[in-house]
Amino acid sequence: MPEAFEFHVIGELRGVDESLLTDEAFVRDALVRSVVEAGLTLFDVYVHRRGEGVIGVAVIGESHVAVHTWPEHRIVTVEVSSCKDPESTWEVFALLREAFGAESYSAVDLRSGIALMESLKGAAGAVG
């Protein structure tokens, strides 16, 4: 049994070419490629231009991937959420980092559903 129900990577890509951060087609393609190459299940992608930047969300069978570009700061914020495994969330993040050609990045790894998993383990032990 996994140690959590859902795995998250939340991060920031810095030093990105401004022209990529205003290109809706590029953002859509980066989302699609990162999800597919990481072996996740792509349901749909929504990309919208907002002000100078672009917001993109990939709805995946395992949860979602979201990006928000900030061309005036050369930054992309990224949120990857998956119930599959922690490796696939990091793989999507790495693929997005590569696609955007980030000069630097920062990211954190979060896990949710830990208390619920402990509860289920306890219940399984009580029954078995």
The CA distance from 47 to 44, in Å, is: 10
> How many domains does the chain fold into?
1
* Catalytically annotated residues: 63, 68, 83
**12 assigned to some structural domain:** yes
Tell me, what's the pLDDT at 86?
87
- The pTM of this model reads 0.86
Task: Tell me the per-residue pLDDT of 7-24, one tens digit each, with 9 for 90 and over.
Answer: 999 999 999 999 999 999
Distance CA 55, CA 90 (A): 20
Residue 65 three-state SS: strand
pLDDT at 128: 43
- Strand, helix or coil for residue 123: helix
- Radius of gyration of the CA atoms of the chain, in A: 16
d(C-alpha 101, C-alpha 83), whole Å? 27
CATH number at residue 39: 3.60.90.10
Is residue 22 domain-resident? yes
User: Which domain range does residue 67 map to?
Assistant: 6-127
Q: By the 8 A CB rule, do 76 and 97 touch?
A: no
Residue 1 included in any domain: no
Residue 42 lies in a domain: yes
Residues of the chain scoring pLDDT < 70: 1-4, 114-128
